Each structure stands twice: as C-alpha cells, then as structure tokens.
Amino acid sequence: MKQKRIESENHAPNSVAQIATVAKYTFLDYMRSRKFFIVLTLVMVITVFLNLISAYTSLSIYEFWGMLASLVAVFSGVFFGGDAISAEFQNKTGYFIIPNPIRRSSVYFGKWLSAFAACSIVLGLVTAITLVNGFINFGVPSEFGLSVLFSWFYLAAVTGSVLFFSSLFKNSANSIFVAFMVLVLVFTFIVQLSGLVNVEPWFILNYGAEIIGNILMEPYPPHSTVGILAKTDLTTTTYYATVPQGIAIIGLYFVITTVLGLLIFERKEF
C-alpha cells in the first residue's frame, strides 16, 4: 500500500491542472511587470481623451467605440501575447519546462489564457469608462451589450493570431513587430485597397471586426455601397460585413491561428 501511494504521488498532474498552473504564474508575471502598467496607462490616456471629446462635443462616444475596442484588443494582445511563446526560445526557458512532465499544449494554452486574461482586464476598464460616459451623456443603446460581446470575441481571435506569430519566431522583438505590422498595417491596407478593386475582404480579420461598431449604427449599414473616388472617374465599393459574416470570420481566425500556433510550437526545437 505504501509503495502504491508513493507511485500515485509522483504522477504528473492532468492537462487541465497543467494549463491552470502555467496560466496562473504567467498571469502573475504580467501583473507584476512594467509592461502591464505601460499598456494600461497608454490605453487609459487614449480612452479618456476620446471620452472627453465626446463629452464636450456633439459626437457620441459610441461613434468611437468600434475603433477604440479594436485598437485596445490589438494593442494589448500584441504586447501581452507577442512574446508569450517566442520568449521561451529566446530566453532558453523552454529547456527548463519541456523536459519536465508537462505537455507543450498545456504550456501553449496556459500562455493563451494568461494573455487573454490580461487583455480582458484592459478591455474591461475601457468598456467601463465608455459605459459610464455613455450612460451620463447619451444613454446606453440596447445593442451595446452585443457590441461588447463581439469585442471580446475579437480579442480571443487577436490573442490566437498573436500567439501564432509568437510561435513562428525565436526572437521576441521580431514576433511583436510582425504581429503588429500584420494586424494593424497590412490588414488595414488590404481592407482599404479592396474598395478600390471592388473585392470584398471577407478573408481579413479586421473586416469581420467592423461588426463591433456597425452593430451600434441605426440602421445597420448595407452590405455594400458604390461611390466615385474624389476627382477621378474610378468607382469604389465600401463593404460592410454582416453580423453572421463577421462572427464567422472572427471565429475562423480564432480556430485556425490557435491550431496552427500550437502545431508549430509542438514541433519546434529549442
């Protein structure tokens, strides 16, 4: 009986316990880091600035909400998740983790959960400030709850995408830079260019994320509108993702990037 007890005590914890442990200590590292307070301060400055503009003008804060929520999701996601995996390679900490009886998938999902939790705190504070300002000055539209739900769903997709880029590189600076460039500049450029070439950008995450702000419009924008580019004879088409379409795009990005990031991490050598 004593021998059996010793053997059972040496068993490795199950996957859920491993994920929880990795998430807990990574999250505590975020909370104690200077990075968290820098990100939080920058986001709060932007949020307060936009809320002050709406409070002292005729512009509703909800006109800024879609842009603000998307910006916060990407900004916090890149800074918290951009080096979540690449730092393990750069700092050689993987040498201390992987030989132990812990699955790489547990490390990956623990990192994902901790990054998502840290980003959620930032997004939650931004939502609270916006909600207070809106309640005092404009009221709260019935669709705001859906918009907030979409923003958190988008945050999950951003976190998955950022960890995918983090898995591709062994250098933290490279993974953060590439993730920021793709999610902010490249995707935005493609969405803008699509209107000039009259091709709907259904394959771009940022396009699906537009439902965060569009759901607050009354009425909801038509799927596409055609216009003439200023001082030219060129026709340009502005596309608006429908709610089901936006949810599908965000969901696919979340699933595909999370799976690919995990596969890369599990096969990468330290």
Decide if 221 is inside a domain: no
pTM greater than 0.85: yes
Q: Are 113 and 105 in contact (CB under 8 A)?
A: no
Q: Which domain holds residue 51?
A: 10-172+246-267
Rounded to whole angstroms, what are the CA distances from 182 to 48, 49, 155, 169, 196? 27, 26, 15, 15, 20
Decide if 21 is inside a domain: yes
Decide if 239 is inside a domain: no
Q: Residue 163: which pLDDT band, with cuts at 50, 70 and 90? A: very high
Max mean pLDDT among 16-20, 32-36, 254-258 falls in: 254-258
Domain total in the chain: 1
Q: Are 95 and 146 in contact (CB under 8 A)?
A: no
Decide if 5 is inside a domain: no
Decide if 150 is inside a domain: yes
Rounded to whole angstroms, what are the CA distances from 132 to 50, 87, 117, 137? 13, 38, 22, 9
Give the pLDDT confidence score for residue 87 in this predicted structure: 79
Decide if 124 is inside a domain: yes
Q: DSSP readout, 32-44?
A: HSHHHHHHHHHHH
**Least confident window among 47-61, 66-80, 110-124, 237-251:** 47-61
Give the pLDDT confidence score for residue 188 in this predicted structure: 92
Max mean pLDDT among 25-29, 35-39, 119-123 falls in: 119-123
Place of tokens 């996601």: 77
Decide if 75 is inside a domain: yes
Q: What is the pLDDT of residues 104-160, one digit of tens each?
A: 888 899 999 999 999 999 999 999 988 888 787 777 888 999 999 999 999 999 999
Q: Residue 7: which pLDDT band, with cuts at 50, 70 and 90? A: very low
Q: What is the pLDDT of residues 85-101, one digit of tens each?
A: 887 777 666 545 555 56
Cα 53 to Cα 42: distance, rounded to the nearest angstrom = 17
Decide if 213 is inside a domain: no
Give the pLDDT confidence score for residue 70 in this predicted structure: 93
Rounded to whole angstroms, what are the CA distances from 209 to 81, 104, 154, 158, 165? 19, 30, 6, 10, 19
